[in-house]
Amino acid sequence: MDRNLIADFKLITNGELDQILRISSAAKQAAMEEEPKSDSMNLDDTERSIISFCEREVQKANDLVYDKFSVFKQLMTKVTKAISNIESLKLIHETFRSEYQYNIRKNSSESDIIQQEYNLAKKDLYSFKSEHKLIRQEQSSTKPLLNWAIVLVIVFAESVLNASFFAKGSELGLLGGIVQAFVIVMINVLVANLVVLLIRRRNLISNSSIEKLGYTLLSGILIVATVCFHFLVGHYRDALRIDFENAYAFSVLNFSSSPFVLIDFESYILVVMGFLFFVVLIIDLYKLKDPYPGYGEITQKFNKIKQEYDALNFVLLDDEHEMTKTINQKIELLKTEATQTYEEIQDIHIAKQKLENKYNEHVSSIKNLAITAVKSYRSMNSDMRTTPKPAYFDNEVEFNPSRVEFVYIDNKEKTVLLESAIQKIPEYELEAKTNIRKIIEELKENTKSETM
């Protein structure tokens, strides 16, 4: 039982009262002075002080009881609040409705824009696939950074390799070799891009057979031209070792007379490596995007908008989960508080009855103390006086202090109401969660119909 519900009444003894009020001394002094007078009808000062002192002791007990009543009242207030909270479960779904509706409206403008963009991008993609008779998935590289890294590696590797070859035959040394090598590499990259572009253009379904043949021939011409270019570069390197001043003229002349015959073996290596890098560039750049022109771009646009659309949906879903979680936490907290309050008041009636019993016992003891002290005073006064005692000494001592009244009916009724309310919590909780699910579905459906 809670210590706050237990009262500790302190009762003084007859001896302590005698010492406090000096009753024995007062009785002797009054007897010597023949007080109270024999014809007196009223209590004397000592008798009144005894009665007043005991009345104050009763008032202390009353104050202590009222303090305990405030504890009982607080508990009953908690009971009333718990009952009210349980009843509020019936309407908790309406609170959720207003919050959820506000959240949906807050995001509706952004959602509408993204929804329209998503629908438009989806329509464009399906129209493109239908128009170009594409039934496969888009096949752009899943790791474009890797493809570009390969391009950079090829540019760097070919530049270094060519620079080392040209530096050996150039009077300008390594610097001259680097400049010449970089120019050759850039030509390689440019032609590789042109070949990839032509191959993709050839894939268009709208092309006629002649157009496809034309793109094929152009691609072939560029590849053959690249092979010839690399052999020309090989001849140029040979010429650098023979006559630096006239290297370009000699390279063109030698290429014209015998294009595929080189003097130095390293020049063959230069040609082969240059062409291999060219082939790798074509393959790498071709895989970078989908082979069908425009398919990769329109798919990427759709995927980007879809990601934004999905991200917004995830945000809304997270908000929904958070709001639902908050409502569930409120319900759990309400259940816990109601159960704890019910457990707290289980002993309240017993505690109140014990308090009343102890209080009545204490007040009776004070009354007996007052009566006994007054009678003792009168007895000592009568024995020591020479005149007759007052007639009222034989009357009963009256001691009727203000007492506390204990009421139980209201407390019992509230306890029964709380118990009944707690029993209904599972029913209210199920109904609340069902209504919340219906509200979510209803508002989502309304939002969809508004955006259509």
CA distance 370 to 380: 16
Kindly list the domain boundaries of the chain, sorted by start residue.
3-93+314-451, 141-288
pLDDT on residue 217: 93
Report, in this order, helix, strand and coil percent for the chain, each rounded to 5: 80, 0, 20
pLDDT (0 to 100) of residue 451: 46
- Cα–Cα nearest to 222, from 173, 281, 145: 281
Per-residue pLDDT, 1: 46
Give pLDDT, residue 235. Answer: 80
pLDDT digits (tens, 9 = 90+) for 314-329: 666 666 677 777 778 8
Q: Which of 6, 18, 44 is nearest to 382 (CA)?
A: 44
Predicted TM-score (pTM) of this structure? 0.46
Parts of the chain with a pLDDT under 70: 1-7, 100-112, 141, 158, 161-177, 243-245, 247-248, 312-320, 408-411, 443-452
Query: Would you say 148 and 130 are in contact if contact means Cβ atoms under 8 Å apart?
Result: no
CA separation for the pair 223, 235 (Å, rounded): 19
Both structure tokens of 336 = 């816990």
Q: Which two tokens stand for residue 414?
A: 């509230």
At 59 the pLDDT is: 93
